[in-house]
Amino acid sequence: MPQGTPYHAFIPPYPIRVDDFTDPSSSTYTFSGRQKTASLYLLTHTHTDHLMGLSARSFGQTIVCSHDAKEMLLRHEVYAERALRDAELRAENVRTFAHLKVEPQRMEDGSVDYTGSRDLLRPTYTHIPTKFVLNDDEEVTITLLDANHCPGAVMFLVEGSKGSVLHTGDLRVEPWFLESLKHNPFIQRYIRDSRSSSSTNVLPTLDAIHLDTACLLNDYEVPPKADAAVALTSLMALYPQSTRFFLNVWTWGYEDIYKEVARKFDTKIHVDRYKHSVYAHISGDPFLQSIITKDESSTRFHACERFERCEHVRVNGRESHTPSGHHVVYVNPVNMDIQTWQRYLEETREQLQKGKEVNVLKLKDYAA
Ligand SMILES: [Zn+2]
Ligand SMILES: [Zn+2]
């Protein structure tokens, strides 16, 4: 969780901490008059600001997350290490969170030695309520719900004898998403008719919602992801068929752009070894898996390693053409309010229609 999260990232009244894995001595918090220590950790998704403390080898507690988040975490590599691996200077991948899962060793005589083996990540499927014991006299039921944010990102609904708490993590509340929540049987039962004042024993109460308000508190309007992707690809379609595009995105969460490019141009997208290994192992998005390729020559759309682009989109210095003469257009995410973005779209469309060379396209950013 970003710094300054209320309750030190606990979700009172439960001794559960979300997206904060810093030193256990700081993971105590006093509520209901008692000092609590975290009995269970939850991880909403794998963006770096939600992984604080998790790379410490000393961390040794159970973490609940989605299956895809587990795969992404165990495959996580930092750029400097990826570069060495790709340059074949390092034969082994250095995986940042490998200490969270240590396989038992198979000995020469065929026996298995479990000393030091462990698997701290408890992956759970969405919409399957699962019981977790917190301590001798306390257990909770946790249900994971999609957060519409990036691969593997979930919200947590925690229910127990002390009440019900929803922790959203980062989420993208678009109109369709809000509508789907209204129909989600795990959330639906907490939605009351605002006109009815009588309280009954039938409907349960959601006692607290932990909501990331980063975008909510901005005073500018943000377009839905799908609109940003469609607008971008409609500009890309104005270029000649020989133009190559470099999608300059490096965090998880821009996958809708790849999908829209694949749909619009009936093509795959070249991704680097690292992205390919992560996407190929997440089970929640078969469409994404079907549109990525490691074959750099098979497509003019690239989302390969940004500082080590493949030769199909590699240019010298600030040039906009490859040494073989292909025009390379960059797609860069940029923060803009909706009015600036719409003006930008109109102006760029006009320039392209007049045949002007535009070397950079701006993507209305949304993935943070
Ligand atoms: Zn995030
Ligand atoms: Zn490439």
Cα four-point dihedral sign 121, 126, 129, 134: positive
Q: Looking at the CA of 251, name the nearest ligand.
A: 1
SS3 state of residue 290: helix
Q: Give the confidence band of 164 by pLDDT, cuts at 50, 70, 90.
A: very high
Ligand 2 center to 294 CA (angstroms): 8
Asked whether residue 200 falls in the same domain as residue 243, the answer is: no
Ligand 1 center to 149 CA (angstroms): 7
Ligand 2 center to 6 CA (angstroms): 42
The verdict on residue 1 lying in a domain is: no
Q: Looking at the CA of 43, name the nearest ligand.
A: 1
CATH number at residue 346: 3.40.50.12650
Q: Looking at the CA of 69, name the nearest ligand.
A: 1
Ligand 2 center to 231 CA (angstroms): 23
Give, in degrees to the nearest 5, the angle at Cα 156 between 153 and 159.
170
Asked whether residue 148 falls in the same domain as residue 270, the answer is: no
Ligand 1 center to 276 CA (angstroms): 20
| Residue range 245-272: mean pLDDT, rounded | 94
The verdict on residue 55 lying in a domain is: yes
Asked whether residue 196 falls in the same domain as residue 144, the answer is: yes
Asked whether residue 17 falls in the same domain as residue 86, the answer is: yes
| Residue range 307-316: mean pLDDT, rounded | 92
pLDDT in tens, 31-50: 667 777 899 999 999 999 99
Q: Give the confidence band of 92 by pLDDT, cuts at 50, 70, 90.
A: low
The verdict on residue 96 lying in a domain is: yes
Q: Which of 21-30, 75-84, 204-213, 330-339 has the lowest mean pLDDT?
A: 21-30
Ligand 1 center to 299 CA (angstroms): 29
pLDDT at 323 over 60: yes
Domain with 292, as residue range(s), is: 225-364
Q: Looking at the CA of 152, name the nearest ligand.
A: 1
Alpha helices (runs of H) in the chain, residue ranges in sequence order:
67-74, 79-86, 175-182, 185-188, 225-236, 255-265, 273-280, 286-291, 338-353
Q: Looking at the CA of 51, name the nearest ligand.
A: 1
The verdict on residue 219 lying in a domain is: no
Ligand 2 center to 299 CA (angstroms): 8
Residue 221 and residue 366 in contact, taking contact as beta carbons nearer than 8 Å = no
Ligand 2 center to 165 CA (angstroms): 44
Report CA 234 to chain centroid distance, whole Å.
Answer: 26
Residue 293 and residue 238 in contact, taking contact as beta carbons nearer than 8 Å = no
The verdict on residue 32 lying in a domain is: yes
Residue 109 and residue 127 in contact, taking contact as beta carbons nearer than 8 Å = no
Number of domains in the chain: 2
Q: Which of 107-111, 133-137, 156-160 has the lowest mean pLDDT?
A: 107-111
The verdict on residue 235 lying in a domain is: yes
Q: What is the pLDDT of residue 205?
A: 87
CA atoms within 13 A on the CB side of 348: 22
Ligand 2 center to 263 CA (angstroms): 19
The verdict on residue 216 lying in a domain is: no
Strand partners, 177: none
Q: Give the confidence band of 195 by pLDDT, cuts at 50, 70, 90.
A: low
Last residue of a domain, one of 177, 210, 243: 210
Cβ count near 190 (within 10 Å): 16
Asked whether residue 142 falls in the same domain as residue 268, the answer is: no
CA separation for the pair 31, 329 (Å, rounded): 54
Ligand 1 center to 51 CA (angstroms): 10
Asked whether residue 158 falls in the same domain as residue 253, the answer is: no
Residue 177 and residue 186 in contact, taking contact as beta carbons nearer than 8 Å = no
Q: Looking at the CA of 292, name the nearest ligand.
A: 2
pLDDT at 277 over 90: yes
Ligand 1 center to 170 CA (angstroms): 5
Closest CA to 44 of 14, 21, 25: 21
CA atoms within 13 A on the CB side of 19: 27
Last residue of a domain, one of 210, 235, 259: 210
Q: Which of 63-72, 184-193, 291-300 has the lowest mean pLDDT?
A: 184-193
Ligand 1 center to 252 CA (angstroms): 8
Q: What is the pLDDT of residue 71?
A: 94
Q: What is the pLDDT of residue 215?
A: 58
The verdict on residue 220 lying in a domain is: no
